[in-house]
A and B are shown apart, each in its own frame.
Chain A
Amino acid sequence: TVGAVALDRHGHVAAATSTGGITNKRYGRVGDSPLIGTGTWADDRSAAISATGHGEYFIRTVVAHNIASRVLLAGETLNTACDTVVSGELKTMGGNGGVIAVSPSGETALSFNTPGMYRAWRDEQGGLHTAIYAED
């Protein structure tokens, strides 16, 4: 699974996710990626989020909209909301994976509960970063 989130100069956020699913999948199995609100969500009132991981658990936790709702309704910061869902609710249920997210104010979050996640981001000073392992 791959995904991207972005904030443009007009204050709009967007999210995109694309995947081949899981190896050896059967019966037309679909994971979280194409389900709006689960693997992909974008709302200028809260955040844009793209997820990757064990789709069945991401669906049951409604991960992307869950995170956005915490920002919009509970006033959590984006990083707090991402960590609470990914390392809390999702992990407790047994779901492995991670999310990337940006907010309309420019906050960027990369949160995952696995030993690694292929990821890249631009920091607030304009620096570009890529990473693979959790400790990178």
Chain B
Amino acid sequence: MANPIAIALHGGAGVLTPGLLTPEDETTIHEALLRALKAGLTLLEQDGSSLDAVQAAVVELEECPWFNAGKGAVFTHTGDHELDAAIMHGANREAGAVAGIHFVRNPILAARAVLEHSEHVLLAGAGADAFLATQDLEKVPNDWYDTDLRRRQWQTQLQAPDSVSLEPGGVDKKFG
């Protein structure tokens, strides 16, 4: 019998109670989650690696504006985006991570580049941007991540600094 495969993913947790999202929104989100799950599962079914599978699933989620990662990432206080990501392989506990990066379309691919093309585990800020500029990754201007939904949440939060919307439709008290 072939070894088992398994895959799971998340798109964020928060104050998600029925009624906050419209039925159309819910359908869109379910479809996006299923698309991402299949992106990773297809690789596993072809005997691909779990590392490639989790990367493929997260790229799909980063591309979907509904989720707080990549396209659709939340705004910082100054109105730009600082992205964080990490990836890790259980076979050898090799890992790559980025924090506070600004210009790579898919931050999980940036984390994979740190894992594969640097001797470090975590690179942050301007230094990480400089390393990633040397990598063969798709670069985007920082406003590429903008979405109207997140901009509205940011504007709301600027007026009410003690509550922040982490997830589409959800509002949660968070203190950064």
Which of B13, B74, B158, B170 has a CB less than 8 Å from the CB of A112? B13
- Report the Cα distance A134→B116, complex, angstroms: 37
Q: How large is the interface on B (under 10, 10 to 19, 20 to 34, 35 or more residues)?
A: 35 or more
What 1/0 flags go to B66-78 for Cβ under 8 Å of A?
0111101111111
Contacts of A54 in B (CB 8 A): 174
Q: Which residues of B contact A20 (CB under 8 A)?
A: 68-70, 72-74, 81-84, 145, 150
**In the assembled complex, B137 has its CB within 8 A of some CB on chain A:** no
Give A8's nearest chain B residue, CB to CB: B50
CB proximity to A under 8 Å, residues B84-137: 84-91, 93, 95, 97-100, 106-108, 111, 121-122, 124-125
Q: Given A4-B36, A20-B145, A128-B38, A34 and B84 touching (CB < 8 A)?
A: yes
* B168 CB → nearest A CB, Å: 9
List, sorted by A's number, 8 A–B pairs whose CB atoms are closer than 8 Å. A1-B10, A1-B67, A23-B75, A48-B88, A96-B14, A114-B172, A115-B17, A128-B41
Residues in B neighbouring A19, C-beta threshold 8 A: 68-69, 73, 83-85
Q: How far is the CA of A8 from the CA of B30 in the complex (A)?
A: 24
Q: How far is the CA of A3 from the CA of B26 in the complex (A)?
A: 19
Residue among A1, A9, A25, A35 with most chain B CB within 10 A: A1
- Min distance, Cβ B153 to any Cβ of chain A, angstroms: 5
CB pair B53 A48 closer than 8 Å = no
Least distance between B91 CB and chain A CB atoms (Å): 4
Is the beta-carbon distance between B5 and A8 smaller than 8 angstroms? yes
Is A119 in contact with B8, judged by CB distance below 8 angstroms?
Answer: yes
A42 to B86, CA, bound (A): 11
